[in-house]
Structure 1
Amino acid sequence: MRWSLSRPLAALASLAALASPVLSEQILQSNSLNSCQENSGFQASLFKVVFTPNNHTANVDIVAVSSVEGNVMFDVSISAYGYEIIKRVVDPCDAGLAGLCPMTAGKIPLNFNLDVGKDALGQIPSIAYNFPDLDATVKVFINRTGDGAEAGTSVACVEADISNGKTVDLLGVKWATAIVAGLALVSSAIVSGLGHQNAAAHVAANALSLFGYFQAQAMLGLTGVPLPPVVMSWTQDFQWSMGIIHVSFMQDIFTWYQRATGGAPSTIFDSLTTVSVQVEKRAVEFGMGLAKRSLAMMPRTISEPMSAVMKRELIKRGNIQTSSGSYIVYGIQRAAFRAGIETTNLFMTGLIFFCLLVIITCASVAAFKGMLELGAKKKWIPGDKFLEFRNGWLTVLKGILFRLTLIGFPQMTILCLWEFTQKDSAAEVVLAVFFLLGMAITLGWAASKVIMIARRSVMMHHNPAYILYSDPQALNKWGFLYVQFRASAYYFIVPVLGYALVKAMFVAFAQGNATVQAVGFIIIEAAALIAASVLRPWMDKKTNSFNIAICAMNFVNSIFLLIFTEVFNQPPLVTGVVGLVLWIANAVFALILLLMLIVSTIFVFFRENPDGRYQIMADDRTSFMKSQTHLTQTTELDALAATARGDKSGFKGGLDLDDDAESITSDSMRHKTEHLGVPSGNNSVAGFNRSASPSSPAMPLFPAETPRSPPRYNDRPASPFSAQNRPASPFGQNRPASPFGASNNSPAFRAQNNSSPWQRGAGYD
């Protein structure tokens, strides 16, 4: 039997790329026909082939434009993961298709059903119908026939990617990863409110690191590197972390807003019934010179052939529409198209979802505060539950907003920088400038504030953890920047912000050059891995291992990214196999991280003492930051006695940690210290010798009022507790009833003063 056109078309439809996993019927399909040769004489603006093996039928719907005339032969090759499995020469006259035998110039519409014989069906392996994101391609060279000089020369080349309806781009994966990361962050906040600071810090640190890994996966899909189908689908699972989420009515609003502000929205999805969308499969070479500037104002509809420089410039500006009518999407546009979002709506989509996250969080915190107050008033919960949160919830809310800004910084940086290259509308460019500068300045100012506080703590106490963790205002408002690091690595938030900014610049500005992006990613990830491995800045060994593993995986992914650019001219089979390795390795790694986070979060809620599961921080932060564990180990009377002995001293009261929130050094603390019989106006507590600052005290320092000027450590005034100046001891035979003893005055004292001053901190009840 002669090999007819039905066989390559069946195989074309048979080794297909992906659709939805809910499809119960086995199918093989292709939705676009791409040119694979410059000056190709055959193009298709619409190409849809769907093959159903159950009825041995392939439905073909093609709208093609041909500039070839005369008799031709089709040289057909079918490959999977770069490995050629079928190669045949086909005479189109055997199929009896009008317009193809002989081929005529002009527009050729074809819409027909094609019967596929059992012999052709038997050549399709069963795995082709079930393996997700099958990387298979059919390439057809159209060669002239006859006796002339042009006989045997290729006048056109087309290729089609094949889909089998199975994919790893699953809605369930997106929801599962988002819910786990979100619940872990919420759980850490609740545990912190219950007073278990050590456990809350570990859960929050791991949740933030996991979220950062999800964003790194999403960035792989936003690069301009041509990715294998399974990698495109896998990275699409994490685009929600960049705010790329499709909501139909919101897309209509964004389109209206863009038109109202002078923009021109793209209309890819309105044209899918008449045109095809091509996903670029090969990297576009980088070009330099005057052509780069001269092409900046070219229209988006262009004529074939298209030079590499022209293609790159138009890719940077938006969707390319060829003269045949088909679209080409690339890089960030590829992620938008796969998410069902018009590329001109992508920036507004990410921006609005970030704003909604902030608004919903603020409303949730306010609602939680209201419920706590109502519960305390109605006696549904103990009056001292979440007391610190209820008294200083606005400061806590500021800290939460700073944390959300840190989480959304990579997302908004990429989208804002990319918007500068797209210029969808004047209003959107203004929004991009506002959010980019606003978030960068806010986080930069917060980081400088932390460094200033830590340096003051080192100057006064030889320990950066002293003020960073003993002052509840500093901990609640700025703690999101440093609690995940050890105290001596408080500065590490600066390289973290720099890492996110530089990486975002490579993603946004190098869309037209895959090799530059891949090399940039390798350098950035290598620097991050070296810094994490050498400095080990996180709070303990487990957290360091958790984050170093993430940095190592990101570095390996960047190497894979360079391989996908085909800069090494490796066989296509290598590229296909590397894509599978990337998917499997990252899927296993992400699952392990998720399970670790889930288990640690569950332990926090079901253990009687969740802080006991973690070792005490080596930087002595727990000596200054109270948790429920320490309250049961040391009595308040011990702290008062230690203060009276001069073993502990308060820090400088004049340190401006916050202008609008109460600090442990505020005037309200003066009243409490005076009530306890400690003179607030005396300089003895503030004028201590720096060498006397404890390295590992058991309790946080008793708050004492200090002078506004820095103490002179080499000229310490006489202590009021010295032999000649000591007042009558409050612990003598005639001492009054201690408010910390077992007398009946204790409840009244505590009711009057809310909470003990050395229990003041983030989440102490």
Structure 2
Amino acid sequence: MWRTSVVALASLALLPSVLATDILKTNGFSNCNNGSSTIKVNNVDISFDKSTEKIDFDVSGTSTQEQFVTAELIVTAYGVKVYNNSFDPCADDTKVDQLCPVPAGTFAANGSQVIPSSYTSLIPSIAYSLPDLDGNAQLVLKNKEGSEVACVQSGVSNGKTTDVPAVSYVAAAIAAGALAVSLVGAAASGAHPGTTSSSPGFFDVMFWFQGMVMNGMHSVNYPGVYSSFAKNFAFSTGLVSWGGLQTSIDSFRSHTGGNLTNNSYDYLKNATLVYPDGSTATTSSGIAKRALLLVARQVTTSVNGTSDESSSSDSQESHLVQGIQGYVEQLTIPQANTFMTVLLIFAIVLAAIVVGILLFKVILEAWALFGKFPKSLTTFRKEYWRIMFQTITNLVFLLYGVWTLYCIFQFTHGDSWAAKVLAAVTLGTFTALLAFYTWKIFTVVQKLKKMEGSADALFENKETWKKYKMFYENYKKGYWWLFIPAIIYMFAKGCVLAAGDGHGLFQTIGQLVIESLMLILLLWSRPYQRKSGNWINIIIQVVRVMSVVCILVFVEELGIAQTTKTITGVVLIAVQSGLTAILALLIVINSIITCFRENPHRKRRKAAEKHLSRDLEGDAFLMQPTPFSSPPRHDRKTSELGGYEQVRAQAFSRFGPRRDESQETLVTRGAEMGKAGYRSLSQGRSDHSGSPPPFSREPRLPDLAFEQYRHK
């Protein structure tokens, strides 16, 4: 049997991968017999190490009767049968003692055997390097009459996978970098009205990651290479694999109507996930456990449980999954725990935000007691409650689409009444919060249009800007309303994906329509103030549309060949990875620009202050008046005229010329005012066209010493 198995593995030049270097290994198993079976396989683990040329095996099961069987091994790659061979476990060249005959009761065998190089040399080197390729091996046992008595199938892997923890860490680092750049940019702008943030920002990156997660949740036959890749971004939607958290949720569900028999963390740890196309997968904890057992065991056999090393305790369950369930349970998160997992992670992040803001407030207060902190932090110190509430609102806006998805999924697949109540309350609260802000902004816009004729004050008034900018700060003034289609877009995506779970064609077509409508809206409006924002968001949306088109290839109803699906999956990974790398590069560029470029608002403010300073230096109203000095007494007529000229010059320097008077008229008027004493300027002309002064408030000129000339 083991020689035949190696021959089968030799044909797996294009088969999948999951665990180590230069190793071919089965990846979980499932019973594939359709009717009743007299033999039940509880565990199958077979691995071949190229460096030692040994096969390690671990097989166990139960049989209702002793019987002689023949075995048929079938290997498929990308839906194509690449190997098919029958053998007799009692034949000399393929003898397996534990199956000749199959004993009544339990049986188990595990150990290792050396494989001749004539068989191992048939395995091409590419079989050890290609990641997550689609293929499986199926073993069928038949009795002497030709009736099927057992059937077991398993995926085959080579140790390479696109599900790599480092990818998740890098993606998280990209998101953290985008958040840091956004915060630094916001602090540098000082909440200046009309300020825009650089693209891509934190929201752009997180929405992009969430889109890739949702792409991996459709109820379609994904190639293994893509389903593993999509797992790397689960953190962006609040899905975190945490054993202690899952155990607590299981306990909560068990007390509120939940059924833990086949829907719990402990069950998933030992389960093999089986997808509709027959491919199998195991959770991370299950992979680690079985790998440890294979390393530790020596060659042992048992019949009817007589050996201490009987593997019946390690038996695994086959668990059929698809769609959202298939995605979350790869992360060892039971489908019924999905919403509660996201809720608790949200609560942890929320608590961290509140504690962080309050702690920073305390630090500022202590700083104020012992020193003087920068003026840029004054706003935070005075308005930290507003900042805290707006930060929470931003978090709600960020998660609204996936929150809708998980809440509807909880309504349709959850088994805990308490979790359903929490889903309804939180979804209603989040929707009400966004609806409240929408109503407030519309109310403000209506008032502004009545008073000013436009809604420009949304971007120009500082107080209005600080209250509502989180929804429209990057949009042009005429497209402030675009946040409403964005909310509807997120809600519709979550609804279609969750409500259509199990119906891949409906999900994919619905998502394609939604993504296409958003792309058309962006192309038509180009609403972002910065050209870079328009281009980046349009490119992201184009890739989203292309991604859904690629997912359409995976729909089972279309009957597209498995090889085409795998190639499409690789192309999809390349496109999404390339865009992610571009976003990361742009974030680095933006961070450099933010750190070294002078704040444009500060630059404009300095220029305005400099200009104002020049204006003030030349402002006649703020200059010190020149004291009046009497002319010499020796020439009365000349001195009188000179005095008038001096008076006119002083009045001109202090008040400027009258727009409706010439130089001669000013001299004449000055003489008349000197003779008349304190008289109103408006009373000196009968043709004065201005409005009469208010009662008892006639404007008067100051005493310009005309009296001394009149009495002389």
Normalised TM-score (structure 2):
0.73
Partner SS state of residue 556, structure 2: coil
* Contact 1:33-1:47 at 8 Å conserved across structures: yes
1:182 deviates by 2.9
Partner SS state of residue 48, structure 2: strand
Partner SS state of residue 422, structure 2: helix
Is it true that 1:159 corresponds to 2:149 in the alignment?
no
* Contact 1:26-1:53 at 8 Å conserved across structures: yes
Is it true that 1:330 corresponds to 2:304 in the alignment?
no
- Choose which of 414, 418, 423 in structure 1 pairs with 2:409: 418
Tell me the residue number matched to 1:195: 189
1:339 deviates by 1.8
1:512 deviates by 1.7
Structure 2 letter corresponding to 1:53: K
Tell me the residue number matched to 2:683: none
Tell me the residue number matched to 1:320: none
- Choose which of 224, 229, 237 in structure 2 pairs with 1:234: 229
1:363 deviates by 2.0
Q: Which stretch shows the higher mean deviation, 76-85 or 165-174?
A: 76-85
* Contact 1:395-1:476 at 8 Å conserved across structures: no
Is it true that 1:173 corresponds to 2:167 in the alignment?
yes
1:238 deviates by 0.7
1:101 deviates by 5.6
Partner SS state of residue 6, structure 2: helix
Structure 2 letter corresponding to 1:510: G
Structure 2 letter corresponding to 1:159: Q
* Contact 1:12-1:30 at 8 Å conserved across structures: no
1:435 deviates by 0.6
Partner SS state of residue 56, structure 2: strand
**C-alpha distance in 2, partners of 1:595/1:64?**
54
Matched pairs, number: 586
- Choose which of 344, 357, 366 in structure 2 pairs with 1:365: 357
Partner SS state of residue 58, structure 2: strand
Is it true that 1:485 corresponds to 2:475 in the alignment?
yes
Tell me the residue number matched to 2:580: 590
Tell me the residue number matched to 1:78: 75
Tell me the residue number matched to 1:54: 51
1:505 deviates by 1.5
1:507 deviates by 2.1
* Contact 1:396-1:476 at 8 Å conserved across structures: no
**C-alpha distance in 2, partners of 1:541/1:417?**
37
Is it true that 1:427 corresponds to 2:418 in the alignment?
yes
Q: 1:279-678 alignment to 2 at 5 Å?
A: 279-282=274-277, 325-379=317-371, 381-382=373-374, 384-464=375-455, 466-609=456-599, 611=600, 627-635=601-609
Q: Which structure has the larger Rg over C-alpha atoms?
A: 2
Q: Which stretch shows the higher mean deviation, 235-244 or 478-487?
A: 478-487
1:522 deviates by 1.6
* Contact 2:249-2:340 at 8 Å conserved across structures: yes
* Contact 2:13-2:126 at 8 Å conserved across structures: no
* Contact 2:411-2:420 at 8 Å conserved across structures: yes
Deviations 1:465-519 (A, max 9, x none): x221233333223211111222212221121111111211222222222222122
1:18 deviates by 4.3
Structure 1 letter corresponding to 2:524: V
* Contact 2:12-2:77 at 8 Å conserved across structures: no
| Residues 467 and 105 (structure 1), Cα distance of their counterparts in 2 relative to 1, 3 Å cut | farther
Tell me the residue number matched to 1:667: none
Structure 2 letter corresponding to 1:391: K
Partner SS state of residue 236, structure 1: helix
Structure 2 residue runs of 5 or longer lacking an equivalent are: 280-314, 617-688, 704-712
**C-alpha distance in 2, partners of 1:112/1:103?**
18
**C-alpha distance in 2, partners of 1:190/1:369?**
18
* Contact 1:191-1:604 at 8 Å conserved across structures: yes
Tell me the residue number matched to 2:212: 217
**C-alpha distance in 2, partners of 1:124/1:268?**
39
Structure 1 residue runs of 5 or longer lacking an equivalent are: 285-322, 612-626, 643-721, 735-765
Q: Which stretch shows the higher mean deviation, 188-197 or 491-500?
A: 188-197
**C-alpha distance in 1, partners of 2:367/2:692?**
49
1:142 deviates by 5.6
Q: 1:115-154 alignment to 2 at 5 Å?
A: 115-140=114-139
Partner SS state of residue 607, structure 2: coil
**C-alpha distance in 1, partners of 2:335/2:358?**
36
* Contact 1:29-1:49 at 8 Å conserved across structures: yes
**C-alpha distance in 2, partners of 1:562/1:156?**
35
1:325 deviates by 4.1
1:324 deviates by 9.1
**C-alpha distance in 2, partners of 1:503/1:726?**
68
**C-alpha distance in 2, partners of 1:726/1:104?**
120
Query: Which structure is higher in helix share?
Result: 2
Partner SS state of residue 327, structure 1: strand
Q: Which stretch shows the higher mean deviation, 234-243 or 129-138?
A: 129-138
Partner SS state of residue 516, structure 1: helix
Deviations 1:528-579 (A, max 9, x none): 2222222222233211111111111111111121211233212211111111
* Contact 1:180-1:598 at 8 Å conserved across structures: no
- Choose which of 156, 176, 187 in structure 2 pairs with 1:182: 176
Deviations 1:256-280 (A, max 9, x none): 222333423356553578x541230
**C-alpha distance in 1, partners of 2:466/2:354?**
15
Q: Which stretch shows the higher mean deviation, 554-563 or 99-108?
A: 99-108
| Residues 158 and 458 (structure 1), Cα distance of their counterparts in 2 relative to 1, 3 Å cut | farther
Partner SS state of residue 226, structure 2: helix
1:380 deviates by 5.3
Partner SS state of residue 169, structure 1: coil
1:16 deviates by 6.2
Structure 2 letter corresponding to 1:164: N
Partner SS state of residue 25, structure 2: strand
**C-alpha distance in 2, partners of 1:515/1:43?**
35
**C-alpha distance in 2, partners of 1:330/1:67?**
32
Structure 2 letter corresponding to 1:50: S
Q: Report % sequence identity.
A: 24
Structure 2 letter corresponding to 1:349: T
* Contact 1:171-1:237 at 8 Å conserved across structures: yes
Structure 2 letter corresponding to 1:335: Y
| Residues 395 and 6 (structure 1), Cα distance of their counterparts in 2 relative to 1, 3 Å cut | closer
1:631 deviates by 1.0
* Contact 1:185-1:203 at 8 Å conserved across structures: no
**C-alpha distance in 2, partners of 1:108/1:561?**
44
* Contact 1:77-1:84 at 8 Å conserved across structures: yes
- Choose which of 229, 236, 251 in structure 2 pairs with 1:256: 251
* Contact 2:258-2:416 at 8 Å conserved across structures: yes
Structure 2 letter corresponding to 1:28: L
Tell me the residue number matched to 1:270: 266
**C-alpha distance in 1, partners of 2:693/2:87?**
107
Deviations 1:156-185 (A, max 9, x none): 764321122222222222222223223422
* Contact 2:72-2:85 at 8 Å conserved across structures: yes
Deviations 1:402-459 (A, max 9, x none): 1111011122211111111123322111111111111011112212222332343334
Normalised TM-score (structure 1):
0.69
**C-alpha distance in 2, partners of 1:723/1:254?**
82
1:47 deviates by 2.3
